[in-house]
Structure 1
Amino acid sequence: MVASAAVVVAASLVVERSGPVIGALVATLPISAGPAFAFLALDHSPEFLARSTLASLAVNAGTAPFILLYASLAQRFGLLVSLGAALLVWSGLAAALSVLAPGIGTAAALNALSYGGAYLLSHPYRRAARPVRAPARWWDLPARAATVMGLAATVVLAGRWLGPQAAGIAALLPVVLTSLVLVLHPRIGGPATAAVLANSIPGMVGFTTALAILHLTVVPLGSAAALLLALAICIGWNAGLLAMTLRSARRTRAGRSSSAR
């Protein structure tokens, strides 16, 4: 629990100081789901983890509508309405998808449709904010740490008491994105916070891919090797997105310099 909290708090500090694009890439690393799956691997067999990750993959399709709805509502409404509505929709979709319990092919297709549509529809919100520069308040870090520690405990207990499907759903709670909204929305406003979440959609594609690979490889490779492979996919994907972002920024600056001359 303490290790998970330390990772998430450190990542959230980077998000607040690096702007919406780079901050979103940090936020979409598996900084809450990763430790949750590691705890499940310590307690259970690879077969249990495979069933959990399949449930997680299905529920993961609901995170794109969560991001899109919050980004849209945050342009006009306050924190309670914007985040409350987004969490309500996520909860409804998670419940429906857990009942349907789709197989790996259907779950992958649902994620492709969900994130592809959300990426297209979120375009107006991705460039609508200034970089994040927010002063800290004394209770921010303890609140974030407590939230993540609570998630870690919930996932472990769900795995022991309720089985792999419940553990997989608990591991995919949007804790990091929700905590960022709770911290940033009151301090920098809805549109700026929406830009962070809207820019997280490309990074979530890498996380989704890693989740599918983890499900497919955990039994043949073993839990440790499969988890490391999934982590490498997440880091490599986001590193590629970062390189593309920096290259695009350099081209933009070069074009402006040429125009000025």
Structure 2
Amino acid sequence: MTLLSLAIKALSTAFIVVAASLVAERTRPFLAAMVLSLPVSTGPAYVVLMLDHDAAFIAEASLASLSATVALVPTVIAYAAVARRGGSLATSWLAMLTAWLAFSLATRLVDWTAPAAIICNLAGFALGILATRRWRHALVAVPPVRRWFDIPLRAMIVMTVVVTVVLVSESIGPGASGIAAMFPASYTSFILIMHRRLGGTVVAAALANGLVMLVGFVGFLAVLHVLAAAGRPWTGLLAGLSIPVAWSALVLVASRLEGLGGRSADDARS
């Protein structure tokens, strides 16, 4: 990987995580989740892979990513369950990391097809969304006082996480690369920055809302895989990226109509 490619991935992830942290401090976890769940980490990771590999490699890697995406459901649940009970930053994050690693490795034991991976994801996310529906509302009581070094420090934390993950996964094959591309770098960085600042309950609410947003991410990977398998990975990337954006917009509209986001603060006060 070139230094430029690594810098693009690190900077894009840092931008979105810092933006999500600022939104979380000033508004609601629902809106922070919208920002945090966009494919700003995985998207640049696939740009980097496409610069170095052919369409067949991208098709195999994206199928591995698609099958590994379902691991984000127990990952979020593990963090939220511990954090909501008052778990420390270290304990909550280790619970999340353990769940992600265990379930991601478990997906490697299955010889996946794209339809099977899509069905598994839809079922897994449906169950995860139902299981965390009571966790999605939380209020930031008083916005924390921002210090002059907060934003540079947050960006540095995110870039450190991203660079470490990329360097560790440099020499692995397409299947493992696809799983490595799904490492929750954005979520990890958000937790490291905001757990102590806002509390585990608020961060857990953001990640629980993120499960709803990540349904569009399944569409992104499915389209990328299908078009890469047809020899058009760049078309697949561009077409796929439009899906999570459209899905997030649809969820936002639905939340305003049904009160999921627009009246969550009122619900929490009542």
Query: Equivalent of 1:148, from 154, 157, 162?
Result: 162
Q: C-alpha deviations, 1:62-114, integer Å up to 9, x for none?
A: 10111112112111122222221121011111111112232222212221121
Q: Bigger shift: 124-133 or 109-118?
A: 124-133
Q: Name the structure 1 match of 2:3.
A: none
Contact 2:252 2:261 in 1 (8 A): no
Cα distance in 2, alignment partners of residues 102 and 17 from structure 1: 38
Q: Name the structure 1 match of 2:56.
A: 47
- Label 1:251 to 1:29 Cα distance change in 2 as closer, same or farther (>3 A): closer
Q: C-alpha deviations, 1:103-134, integer Å up to 9, x for none?
A: 22221222112111110010111013337944
Cα distance in 1, alignment partners of residues 207 and 67 from structure 2: 20
Report deviation, 1:139: 2.8
Q: C-alpha deviations, 1:171-223, integer Å up to 9, x for none?
A: 00011011111111011111011111011011110001111111111132512
Cα distance in 2, alignment partners of residues 132 and 8 from structure 1: 27
Q: Name the structure 1 match of 2:192.
A: 182
Q: C-alpha deviations, 1:128-181, integer Å up to 9, x for none?
A: 3337944353532211112123334445x2xxx322101101100011011111
Contact 2:224 2:237 in 1 (8 A): yes
Q: Name the structure 2 match of 1:139.
A: 153
Read off the aligned partner of 1:2 and give its amino acid letter: A
Query: Equivalent of 2:130, from 103, 120, 127?
Result: 120
The TM-score normalised by the length of structure 1 is 0.88
Q: Name the structure 2 match of 1:259.
A: none
Cα distance in 1, alignment partners of residues 50 and 155 from structure 2: 28
Report deviation, 1:247: 4.4
Q: Name the structure 1 match of 2:119.
A: 109
Cα distance in 2, alignment partners of residues 49 and 6 from structure 1: 23
Number of aligned positions between the proteins: 250
- Label 1:225 to 1:23 Cα distance change in 2 as closer, same or farther (>3 A): same
| 3-state SS in 2 of match to 1:101 | coil
Contact 2:255 2:262 in 1 (8 A): no
RMSD: 2.2
Query: Equivalent of 2:66, from 49, 57, 60?
Result: 57
Structure 1 unmatched ranges of 5 or more: 257-261
* Larger helix share, 1 or 2: 1
Q: Bigger shift: 145-154 or 67-76?
A: 145-154
Query: Equivalent of 1:6, from 2, 7, 11?
Result: 11
Report deviation, 1:35: 0.5
- Label 1:38 to 1:66 Cα distance change in 2 as closer, same or farther (>3 A): same
